[in-house]
Amino acid sequence: MNDGAVFNRFLRVREERGGGFFLLIDPDRTDERSFLALAEAAADCGVDAILVGTSFMLNTNFSSAVGKIKESTTLPVIIFPGSFAQITPAADAILFTSLISGRNPAYLIEEQVKGAPLVKRTGIEPIPTGYMLIESGRLTSVQYISGSMPIPRTKPDIACAHALAAQYLGMKMVYMEAGSGAEQPVPTTMIKAVSDYIDLPIMTGGGLTRPEECAARIDAGASFVVVGNRLENDPKFRLLTELTAAVHTREPINV
């Protein structure tokens, strides 16, 4: 997929279903059998797209893992990169993120400059995304690796200013992230404040464990919810199905 096809698909999902559900797979933290089983079941469980990303690459050939996930599903597979080294032609698209909530130049622009020629060479679709780390109650991997302070969860005005800067810089989405293993997800009050303040679609993830939490984020103004490691031990994918149903607040349109 290229020429904006993946991003346009996101917008159609939001329009038709009320919200989209993205499954995040970290192939470095999950054994291959488990993450491929998740990928194979994703479409039938109502997932709209699969994100693949990891903070480290200690145990996995990332490109090979993305390729195997792509072979296991009909859904679009999007890289959620921890570094430019995770860019691979095996995916359909990449969240071309800039950590706009931080002040570390490596994640504001340096990784992006290194990665841009690779994205062009592979031909995968870049989706420019303003990545905002929100305080979650504990030190998360992304906070530690990026060396950046999260936005305080009680300061929606700071989040609004950062999100508006992303919009004025020409980005297509804002990703409000509490981080993997977060104690607390991004507050609904902050999501609503940002949604009311900008015109971009909002993704949110981190710390979401229950269907009602996901539904509340869509109700607050998020367009897409991201859930990952909570589903690694989901028997018969029951929780995954419940989570996607909570995000899809409208009945599918039959044409």
From the DSSP assignment, how many helices (H) and strands (E) are in the chain?
10, 8
Q: Residue 18 falls within a domain, yes or no?
A: yes
Q: Residue 243 falls within a domain, yes or no?
A: yes
Q: Residue 114 falls within a domain, yes or no?
A: yes
**Per-residue model confidence (pLDDT) at position 56:** 75
- CATH code of residue 35: 3.20.20.390
In angstroms, rounded to a whole number, what is the distance separating the alpha carbons of residues 32 and 222? 31
Q: Residue 34 falls within a domain, yes or no?
A: yes
Q: Number of folded domains in the chain?
A: 1
DSSP for 171-205, please give it: -SEEEEE--TT-SSPPPHHHHHHHHHH-SS-EEEE
Q: Residue 101 falls within a domain, yes or no?
A: yes
Q: Residue 82 falls within a domain, yes or no?
A: yes
Neighbour-count burial of 89, counting CB atoms closer than 10 A to its CB (0-12 exposed, 13-18 middle, 19+ buried):
middle
The one-digit pLDDT tens for each residue of the chain (255 residues) are 468 999 999 999 999 999 999 999 999 888 899 999 999 999 999 999 999 998 877 777 999 999 999 999 999 999 999 999 999 999 999 999 999 999 999 999 999 999 999 999 999 999 999 999 999 999 998 899 899 999 999 999 999 999 999 999 999 999 999 998 799 999 999 999 999 999 999 999 999 999 999 999 999 999 999 998 677 778 789 999 999 999 999 876 554
The separation between the first and the last C-alpha atoms of the chain, rounded to the nearest angstrom, is: 23
Q: Which domain holds residue 111?
A: 5-247
The set of residues, in sequence order, having a beta carbon less than 8 Å from that of 78 and lying 6+ positions away, is 6, 22, 49, 50, 51, 52, 91, 92, 93, 94, 95, 127
**Per-residue model confidence (pLDDT) at position 253:** 56
Q: Residue 253 falls within a domain, yes or no?
A: no
Contact (CB, 8 A) for 49 and 10 = yes
**Per-residue model confidence (pLDDT) at position 1:** 46
The pTM of this model reads: 0.95
In angstroms, rounded to a whole number, what is the distance separating the alpha carbons of residues 29 and 125? 26
Relative to beta strand 173-177, strand 125-133 is parallel
Q: Residue 19 falls within a domain, yes or no?
A: yes
